[in-house]
Structure formats: structure tokens, C-alpha cells
Amino acid sequence: MILSVSRRTDVPNYYSDWFFNRIKEGYLYVRNPINIHQISKINLSPDIVDCIVFWTKNPANMIERLDELKDYKYYFQFTLTGYGKDVEPNIPNKRSELISTFKKLSEKAGKDKVIWRYDPILISARYTTDYHLKAFEEIIDNLAGYTDKVVISFVDLYSKTQRNTEGLNIETVTNEDIYTLAEKLAGIAERYQIEIETCAEQIELQNVGIKHGSCIDKKLIEKILGCKLIVGKDKNQREECGCFESVEVGTYNTCSNGCKYCYANFNDERVKESVKLYNVDSPLLCGKVGANDKITDRKVKSLKDTQISFF
């Protein structure tokens, strides 16, 4: 099993104590966001969890505790952009804090296990293409030697994100606009010898040196594990998503980063109400088990290919 921690909320930033407690207890609960009375119990045994993929904008709370994950394999997706407080209101300063946090994490975990995400890219009167090129180059200049890969994507304006981004005056970009900017970003990445990929983009950018990527990356996980995996594409994600199957542990409307482009939060008030339910000792993240809830053991297993190969 590959564990996703988490597409729905920033567990390393806000709920790392909860997650470490769950590791010690050996299980956690996940509520089904569609059928809210259905709760899955997930076994966290190191014999079953092949790899943990962390998604975060600030993993500082976890860095000194990574030894508690010594029985597990893992890597981080670390989002680090050039946006200000108007877009990412609760994110610490990039220059004075987050770049050094990225470096510390890389030194502790290994640079191959810290993927830099410069995404999503949105274009506005403030965040022009020139702005992104300057911000991207400044960040990559600082991160060179601390990561092997950068992932980019362009903002998708779902109904929820359209509401949250009102006032930012985000411009509609054409495929030609994307192609032009991507080509320049690829050129910068090449100069720093950092691989660049896209996340869940339909547009083909191979001609400018950018491949379609996978956040839940089978190839990377196999490299970290030193063995093959028997795993298929994640059918629960969008068609253009290249991720492989994983078990998601997060809860919607619980991330306090406040990023305006986020699809996992409906609104700030909903997040505040959810966060009030946070209990570091609960098996369930930001919630309580109710009388009408049904808890079911989810069938999970290791995905490692144990078949001996002579080739």
C-alpha cells in the first residue's frame, strides 16, 4: 500500500503529532467524503505500508522527528512558490524561512526524496509571466543541490476555487501562453540540471523538455524500495493524472494554509469549524465517530513484487 499524506490537507504542517501517534498505534480512520457515515480503518504496519508520500508547504514540524519513521520508506512533495499573502495567506516567508526548511529536510531525508513543486501557476496583473520566471529562477538557484526534480502545473478554476480566487483577477491563459512560459521554465531547470515535469496537465510539452509526471510515482518508489511494485493507475483521479493507486488519509476542509487556489477547502468558516474537532489522540483526523457511523477494516496489502527475477 502507498499512503498519501495528504492531497486533502497539510498533515506535516498542522497534524504531524496526530500522524506520529497513528504510526505508534498502528492504524488510523478515514471518513468517506461521499458517504460520511462510512469510516475505513487503515492498517499502518510497516509490512503493509510500502511508501508514504507526504504533501506539504511547510514540513518544519516533522524534520526532527523523521527518525520515528525509520521502519518506513517515504518522500515529500514540497510546494514552494513565489506568491505573497494575497494568494497563500498563512504560509511563512519563502526567503527567510521556507527555503532553509527545504534544505534542512533535504539534508535529513535525502535530496532524491524531496520533490519541489512550483504549482499551481496562475497569471494575473501582479503575477505575470515575467514574475514567475524571476521567482522560479530565484528559488531554483537556492534549491540546486537539494532536489532532483521540480513539478509544475497551471491553475484549474473549479467552482470552489473560482469563489476563493475572486479578487485576484486571474487571467485566462491559452495553450500558446502555457507553451511559451513552460519552455522558458524548462530552460532554467536545464541550466540547474534539475528535471522538470508537469502534474495532471493535458498539454504536451515534451518538445520543450517537460514530461508528464506522477506525484504518486511508481518509478521513484521502486527506486526508493529497491524492488518492483504491482500497482495500477489511480482510477479515482482525473484522466490526465499520472498517479498510481494510493490510500488517502486526509480530510477536506481542514487545511489552515488558506491558499486561494486550493480545491480541498470550501471556505474559511468551514475550515475553522473542522479544526475545532482536532484531537491529537483520535484515530480520525478532525472528527468524531458518531452513533450512526460504521467502521470497516479496509483491505490493504503490500504491493511489492516478491517474484524472483533472473533478468
The answer to whether residue 302 sits within a structural domain is: no
- Residue entry with cell 515575467: 130
Task: Please give the span between the terminal C-alpha atoms of the chain, in angstroms, as a whole number.
Answer: 25
The model's confidence at residue 310, banded by pLDDT at 50, 70 and 90, is: very low
**How much is the pLDDT for 242?**
77
Predicted pLDDT of residue 311:
37
What HEC string does 15-79 produce?
Answer: CHHHHHHHHHHCEEEEECCCCCCEEEEEECCCCCCCEEEEEECCCHHHHCCHHHHCCCCEEEEEE
pLDDT tens, position by position, 28-43: 999 999 999 999 999 9
d(CA 69, CA 23): 8
* Position 269 in a domain: yes
CA 187, CA 198: separation in Å to the nearest integer? Answer: 14
Q: Is residue 311 part of a domain?
A: no
Q: Is residue 21 part of a domain?
A: yes
Q: Which residues contact 237 (CB under 8 A, 6 or more apart)?
A: 200, 243
Q: Which amino acid is at 216?
A: I
Question: How confident is the model at residue 159, as a pLDDT?
Answer: 56
Q: What is the mean pLDDT of residues 83-103?
A: 97
DSSP H or E stretch at residue 268 = helix 268-275
55 is a domain residue? yes
Residue 158, pLDDT above cutoff 80: no
Statement: residue 173 has pLDDT above 60: yes
pLDDT tens sequence across 114-154: 999 999 999 999 999 999 999 999 999 999 999 999 999 99
Cell (9 digits) for 64: 526532527
- What is the rounded CA–CA span in Å between residue 117 and residue 151? 5
Its sign, for the CA torsion 215, 220, 225, 231, is positive
Q: Does residue 31 lie within any of the structural domains?
A: yes
Over the stretch 259-282, which tens digit does the pLDDT of each residue have? 999 989 988 899 999 999 999 999
Residue 10: which domain range?
2-297
C-alpha dihedral over 280, 283, 284, 285, to 10 degrees? 30
DSSP 90-150: TSPPIIIIIHHHHHHHHHHH-GGGEEEEEEEE---SSS-HHHHHHHHHHHHHHHBTTBSEE
Categorise residue 276: left if φ over 0, alpha if ψ from -120 to 50, beta otherwise.
alpha
pLDDT in tens, 4-61: 999 999 999 999 999 999 999 999 999 999 999 999 999 999 999 999 999 999 999 9
φ, ψ for residue 248, nearest 5 deg: -85, 135
280-307 residue pLDDT tens? 999 999 999 999 999 999 999 999 997 7
CA distance 126 to 88: 14
The count of domains in the chain is 1
Mean pLDDT of the chain: 93
DSSP state of 2: E
Indicate whether 230 belongs to any domain: yes
Q: Is the pLDDT of residue 309 over 70?
A: no
Compute CA distances 221 → 1, 197, 303, whole Å.
Answer: 11, 16, 11
Report, as an integer, the average pLDDT of 156-172: 75
Predicted confidence (pLDDT) at residue 75 exceeds the cutoff of 90: yes
**C-alpha grid cell, residue 68:** 520515528
Q: Is residue 304 part of a domain?
A: no
On whether the pTM is more than 0.85, the answer is yes
